[in-house]
Structure 1
Amino acid sequence: MSDSIYSGLTQLGQATPLPQRPEDAVLERVPNPQAGTAYVVRFTAPEFTSLCPMTGQPDFAHLVIDYVPGDWLVESKSLKLFLGSFRNHGAFHEDCTVTIAKRIAELLDPQWLRIGGYWYPRGGIPIDVFYQTGPVPQGVWLPDQGVPPYRGRG
């Protein structure tokens, strides 16, 4: 694997502990073998968790991350560990969602990125947070994120 595009990865293929904080998580990238082709990559994390910074109670979200890669792809195990590092992290929904998007965008410098953070209700109010880096590039097929608005029991 030494001369492959995967040779610089430090977490894939071995036991890697869950980082205690998002700041400690190592996001890794690999060269995009289809660089120059506009296509969408989607990651869905339906069981994302973090903590309320005021009460310490758990918060739950369904995250959908879409990006049009440039020269780099995010390595999925490192993304999983990064997202898992929020499990014991106290931050408001808006901060968690935008922090995730900005960290991925900084690592990859994608043509485009968006995140939908669909947070489950606490105190009777669901909070949905959306962020994107700019307009969708022309010529890419971008499916709906597929998460219905919260309707409760109605």
Structure 2
Amino acid sequence: MTAKTETAGLTMLGAHTAMPANPDEAVLERVPNPHRDLAYCIRFTAPEFTSLCPLTGQPDFAHLVLDYVPRDWIVESKSLKLFLGSFRNHGAFHEACTLDIARRLITLLDPVWLRIGGYWYPRGGIPIDVFHQTGTPPEGVWIPAQDVPGYRGRG
């Protein structure tokens, strides 16, 4: 049996949508969780996430892994892609980017649990990885390891 997903009110899905100029202008949309009766994990991976250094304007690159266990809502994936893309010309430190993404999703979705791993490539010769989760993962839900190897340079 396939659950019907409610899409009324979505403004981006199925339409040409320009990339937002910055995260504050980006609209994140949500749809009702089609399987509220099941506890399950949703994973989004953005291996080519980019933002700008707020001081130099130079590009920064990260591999983001976002896991969450939904409650009543799931994020609409096109709006999430555009939201993440809106950081491309946004100046912020690694910690701010990673945690701003987590906070925005927590506010939008009120998930049972959320975890984000920001695996940033070196800036000034030092990789900076940023991690956050909202608490203990719920029992009985398979939550795979993120398994993103630490930066090894030429090794």
Normalised to the residue count of structure 1, the TM-score between the two structures is 0.96
**In the alignment, which residue of structure 2 is the partner of 1:89?**
90
Task: Name the structure where helix makes up a greater proportion of residues.
Answer: 1
1:116 equivalent in alignment to 2:120: no
Structure 1 consecutive aligned stretches of length 4 or more whose deviation exceeds 4 Å: none
Contact 2:73 2:111 in 1 (8 A): yes
* Structure 2 segments unaligned to the other structure (5+ residues): none
Distance 1:8 1:138 in 2: 33
Q: Over residues 13-59 of structure 1, what are the superposed CA-to-partner deviations in whole Å (9 max), with x where a residue is unaligned?
A: 00000000100000000000101311000000000000000000000
* Structure 1 segments unaligned to the other structure (5+ residues): none
**In the alignment, which residue of structure 2 is the partner of 1:51?**
52
**In the alignment, which residue of structure 1 is the partner of 2:72?**
71
Amino acid of the residue matched to residue 95 of structure 1? A
Distance 2:82 2:154 in 1: 33
Contact 2:44 2:66 in 1 (8 A): yes
Distance 2:115 2:107 in 1: 13
How many residues of Structure 1 are paired with residues of Structure 2 in the alignment?
A: 152
Distance 1:88 1:151 in 2: 27
Amino acid of the residue matched to residue 65 of structure 1? L
Contact 2:5 2:32 in 1 (8 A): no
RMSD over aligned CA atoms reads: 1.1
Contact 1:36 1:70 in 2 (8 A): no
Q: Over residues 98-129 of structure 1, what are the superposed CA-to-partner deviations in whole Å (9 max), with x where a residue is unaligned?
A: 00001001000000000000000111100000
**In the alignment, which residue of structure 2 is the partner of 1:16?**
17
- Partner of 1:86, secondary structure, is coil
Normalised to the residue count of structure 2, the TM-score between the two structures is 0.96
**In the alignment, which residue of structure 2 is the partner of 1:35?**
36
Amino acid of the residue matched to residue 146 of structure 2? Q
Amino acid of the residue matched to residue 102 of structure 2? A
Q: Structure 1 vs Structure 2: percent identity of aligned residues? A: 74
**In the alignment, which residue of structure 1 is the partner of 2:106?**
105
Amino acid of the residue matched to residue 111 of structure 2? P
Contact 2:5 2:34 in 1 (8 A): no
Distance 1:122 1:36 in 2: 44
Return the offset for 1:88. Answer: 0.5
Amino acid of the residue matched to residue 103 of structure 2? K
Return the offset for 1:4. Answer: 5.9
Contact 2:41 2:68 in 1 (8 A): yes
